[in-house]
Chains A and B, each alone.
Chain A
């Protein structure tokens, strides 16, 4: 079926030459926790503004928009333009996860206002709170909204009071809507128009457009999502990316209405996309400023740009040694679309050739690993994630992001590790358990306040290394799932960290080395040797499994030598079957990795390295 003419898609035809006065533009985003109803509310906004005809409307329209149907391109809408009552409203999508705090901050910088959306039955969550603080710090006008007021278990007044307290307004000023029924949504649009200021910026000034996201499209190259802060962005122009210093012939500017629609230019204050003419997503960085190339270009970029910083590191190794080239190609492909992914070749004695990869956080790590496995059909072994340590020796700072490269005690002055400020919101009844967990994870309380008589917000300074293991799972289990967590890095601090090695039959296994706090080193070593004792098959000799700090052995277990491995019976009718059993056993042996004299099955590495990681959901 051919695509319908564009004019029939929306409730009203879109005029690509129309110019909207900045005073009639509103740029805003919706801050909401997962499942608090952002997508459903967005559907109602699309309907109310006739952006999509009734016939084309589907649930969670923006989430599922598949632009491949049109022009075969795969641009995902990150910002949708809505026409309402003579106003141009740009709704900008923001990632919600803590791993992407920088990306969130750039999306927020493209807005003047934020709808703070909270589920009437769930209340304020930590992630919402963190993003609210980001938005407030960015100077955005906040429109507090309680959603899902149609639910029987909705606590409208309580949630209203919490939000009013948080934002510093009267409870009556908090809007009440139902994304499901549409109740209160027209009023919300009116309030957005009334309260969110129009964009400022100067049409006469040199062009400065903020890139708040970018993607790679196989047909059209790198697509930047941007907000024009000053000046005008013509549809086809030679543009400069100020942070990278690159010039490029941009091929097309456009807006999402909500389908990708080319425009003649993007005006001051407008939001849209630019097909940059570049082929590498690393040339188009989130937070960079686009200006015109040559004469008339801006002299100063917009503030706030920084390079993406990996926070969590892990070694990725192909389970089958021969897949190294495939893993490298797959990482190269992923990097096309993921500017934050960094990797470098790593050789492990135990795991062979692989890559040490840096991620923004655990979610990012999980996403990358899952995509490598699912989209590229690779079977991977991932080493336990670790943070980046700074080893200070005299005037020198050595950056270590692989535990097996960590220096041994006595060869340096001190070690520093990254520390985060964690925000935890918990029902008051679980406060004790939360404090206990934070203390056990070397936390230091910053402050604590009651959001309401039953909900508490706690701030803890915690080493990032303590959070990246099973902290979130522990938090959830200790609070029956009710606590929420967010955190932001606040720098490096000195710490009593030591490297713990694991030895098999006297040989250190680099993949099992870890850098842990001195007080926890023994427990880590103990746990690893106990786990490995279960996982390492018996060999023809006793295998010592040891954990050591420097030259000191802190834990030891022994896998006793195997004594019996024989087929009891083998008569005329058994020979074929027994031969096949032996062949199978032989194939199993071929899959073993040899560490010194010890044969270790692949599964032992995977199981020993498995940590219960924080999952995306609920963070």
Chain B
């Protein structure tokens, strides 16, 4: 009783220059067909997951709230019928602040969505503009107010730091505004340049400077400091939560629990096998409507792959890796340097260690 169920909604109002997710603007006309396909895929996949208990459902994207609230409600209902989802499962839906209003939120809460994850990204309009986000800081405050008024008791705000024109002072203001809004959960991501995105191309062509890793390190440290002071626990490299509000669904990825992904491009994982659906929405729709599982590829993890995943995923969270896995002389220099600490027989990165996680992984898993 520990699996996660992920549903991918590949529609967005616009495409942001930094984003390399499987998401598309201008395909909204496919929405109702897509919801039907999700239900169809779920029923095709369900026999393979009989006996598996699900502790979380996560609707991500894209922007799931571009779909009709009633469709979203019916979808969740069908998923609960097809899969053994725990009654108290964490059910998250991602939302763009501009795509939610009071009425929609009420439908979602009523349908069983218990956790709302909103892309705030920044409270600095200049930073939002450089990220090509259309919303303004005011709409985040408004959406937050409405979520609370509706009765959402578990809200996450996503933040992105280190865009090329962002200074430490601006990030400081964003963090303080975030904390003032009092979400239960904060995800703060260092902007990463993905080569395949428009932003990646601009950086390659020298039109936009690449993020300064030292400034991003300063920003990370500032986030650690301010969020800790506000009572958030730093439980994963980029995630903070008030006690009891760590995201159960995402923890499943880092703890290497099984997950089933539905929707275009969604990944699934169980028993050292990982597979994924075809990415283009049209291809996905055609496969499902023809009554086939829309699998686009798979890999079976060799023991060495599985071990590397175990190490690099577990080191992201407070669980860490058992000290017994690692030769003491490999861990020693990092313990001395303060990048690792040993707690209850586990090696866990310190916050400085989290910033240098790749180094830790390569040294400990190598």
Of the candidate stretches B82-90, B131-139, B305-313, the one touching chain A is: B305-313
The residue in chain A whose Cβ has the minimal distance to the Cβ of B366 is: A586
Find chain B residues with CB under 8 A from A560 CB: 214
* Residue among B4, B238, B265, B337 making CB contact with A568, cutoff 8 Å: B238
**Do A582 and B361 have beta carbons less than 8 Å apart?**
yes
Interface flag for B168 (CB, 8 Å): no
Find chain A residues with CB under 8 A from B4 CB: 572
Find chain B residues with CB under 8 A from A585 CB: 358, 362
Interface string of B213-255 (1 = CB under 8 A from A): 1101100100000000000000001100000000000100110
**Do A540 and B359 have beta carbons less than 8 Å apart?**
yes
**Do A566 and B354 have beta carbons less than 8 Å apart?**
yes
Among A344-393, those with CB < 8 Å from B are none
**Do B358 and A572 have beta carbons less than 8 Å apart?**
no
Of the candidate stretches B122-130, B266-274, B287-295, the one touching chain A is: B266-274
Give the interface SS of chain A, mostly helix, strand, loop or mixed: loop
* Residue among B214, B266, B316 making CB contact with A570, cutoff 8 Å: B316
Find chain A residues with CB under 8 A from B308 CB: 579, 582-583
Find chain A residues with CB under 8 A from B359 CB: 540, 562, 565
Closest Cβ of chain B: how far from A564's Cβ, in Å? 4
Find chain B residues with CB under 8 A from A570 CB: 237, 253-254, 312-313, 316
Interface flag for B205 (CB, 8 Å): no
Interface flag for A610 (CB, 8 Å): no
Interface flag for A169 (CB, 8 Å): no
**Do A573 and B217 have beta carbons less than 8 Å apart?**
no
Closest Cβ of chain A: how far from B210's Cβ, in Å? 12
**Do B309 and A575 have beta carbons less than 8 Å apart?**
yes
Interface flag for B355 (CB, 8 Å): yes
Find chain B residues with CB under 8 A from A569 CB: 189, 192, 238
Interface flag for B27 (CB, 8 Å): no
Interface flag for A589 (CB, 8 Å): yes
Find chain A residues with CB under 8 A from B259 CB: 572
Interface string of A74-113 (1 = CB under 8 A from B): 0000000000000000000000000000000000000000
CA A147 to CA B250, docked complex, whole Å: 81
CA A474 to CA B81, docked complex, whole Å: 80
**Do A563 and B358 have beta carbons less than 8 Å apart?**
no
**Do B362 and A586 have beta carbons less than 8 Å apart?**
yes
Closest Cβ of chain B: how far from A591's Cβ, in Å? 13
**Do B355 and A563 have beta carbons less than 8 Å apart?**
yes
**Do A564 and B267 have beta carbons less than 8 Å apart?**
no
Find chain B residues with CB under 8 A from A565 CB: 213, 355-359
Closest Cβ of chain A: how far from B154's Cβ, in Å? 18
CA A560 to CA B213, docked complex, whole Å: 12
**Do A564 and B355 have beta carbons less than 8 Å apart?**
yes
**Do B362 and A589 have beta carbons less than 8 Å apart?**
yes
Interface flag for A1 (CB, 8 Å): no
Interface centre among B220, B259, B305, B356 (most CB of A within 10 A): B356
The residue in chain B whose Cβ has the minimal distance to the Cβ of A588 is: B362
**Do A564 and B216 have beta carbons less than 8 Å apart?**
yes
Closest Cβ of chain B: how far from A597's Cβ, in Å? 10
Interface size class of B (residues with CB under 8 A): 35 or more
Find chain B residues with CB under 8 A from A575 CB: 253, 267, 269, 274, 309, 313
The residue in chain B whose Cβ has the minimal distance to the Cβ of A562 is: B356
Interface flag for B261 (CB, 8 Å): yes
Interface flag for A571 (CB, 8 Å): yes
Interface flag for B34 (CB, 8 Å): no
**Do A573 and B355 have beta carbons less than 8 Å apart?**
no
Among A521-578, those with CB < 8 Å from B are 540, 560, 562-573, 575-576, 578
Knowing A573-B261, A579-B309, A586-B362, the reply to whether A566 touches B237 (Cβ < 8 A) is yes
Knowing A540-B337, A564-B216, A566-B358, the reply to whether A572 touches B309 (Cβ < 8 A) is no
CA A571 to CA B220, docked complex, whole Å: 19
Interface flag for B6 (CB, 8 Å): yes
Interface flag for B190 (CB, 8 Å): yes
CA A582 to CA B357, docked complex, whole Å: 11
**Do A582 and B355 have beta carbons less than 8 Å apart?**
no
Interface flag for B299 (CB, 8 Å): yes
CA A585 to CA B358, docked complex, whole Å: 9
Among B318-366, those with CB < 8 Å from A are 337, 339, 354-359, 361-362, 366
Interface string of A455-485 (1 = CB under 8 A from B): 0000000000000000000000000000000
Knowing A540-B356, A575-B309, A585-B362, the reply to whether A568 touches B266 (Cβ < 8 A) is no
Interface flag for B284 (CB, 8 Å): no
Closest Cβ of chain B: how far from A473's Cβ, in Å? 28
**Do B253 and A572 have beta carbons less than 8 Å apart?**
yes
The residue in chain B whose Cβ has the minimal distance to the Cβ of A538 is: B213
**Do B214 and A573 have beta carbons less than 8 Å apart?**
no
Closest Cβ of chain A: how far from B206's Cβ, in Å? 17
Interface string of A572-607 (1 = CB under 8 A from B): 110110110011011001000000000000000000
**Do A572 and B267 have beta carbons less than 8 Å apart?**
yes
Closest Cβ of chain A: how far from B276's Cβ, in Å? 7
Find chain B residues with CB under 8 A from A566 CB: 190, 237, 354-358
CA A571 to CA B4, docked complex, whole Å: 12
Interface string of B1-27 (1 = CB under 8 A from A): 000101000000000000000100000
CA A585 to CA B265, docked complex, whole Å: 26
Closest Cβ of chain A: how far from B71's Cβ, in Å? 23
CA A563 to CA B190, docked complex, whole Å: 13
Closest Cβ of chain A: how far from B303's Cβ, in Å? 13
Find chain B residues with CB under 8 A from A563 CB: 213-214, 217, 355-356
Among B1-60, those with CB < 8 Å from A are 4, 6, 22
Interface centre among A563, A566, A579, A583 (most CB of B within 10 A): A566
Knowing A582-B308, A583-B308, the reply to whether A572 touches B261 (Cβ < 8 A) is yes
**Do B269 and A572 have beta carbons less than 8 Å apart?**
yes
Write 28 A-B pairs (CB below 8 A) sorted by A numbering. Answer: A560-B214, A563-B214, A563-B355, A564-B213, A564-B216, A565-B356, A565-B359, A566-B190, A566-B355, A567-B237, A568-B189, A568-B191, A571-B253, A572-B4, A572-B266, A572-B267, A572-B268, A573-B265, A573-B267, A573-B276, A575-B253, A575-B309, A576-B274, A576-B299, A578-B312, A579-B312, A582-B312, A585-B358
- Across the A-B interface, give the 9 residue pairs with the lowest CB-CB distance, nearest first: A563-B217, A566-B357, A573-B267, A564-B217, A564-B213, A565-B358, A568-B189, A568-B190, A564-B355
Chain A residues engaging chain B, CB cutoff 8 angstroms: 540, 560, 562-573, 575-576, 578-579, 582-583, 585-586, 589
Q: A565-B356, A567-B358, A570-B254 are in contact. List 17 more A-B contacts (CB 8 A).
A: A540-B356, A562-B213, A563-B213, A563-B356, A564-B355, A565-B358, A567-B192, A568-B192, A570-B253, A573-B261, A573-B267, A575-B269, A575-B313, A576-B299, A578-B312, A579-B312, A586-B366
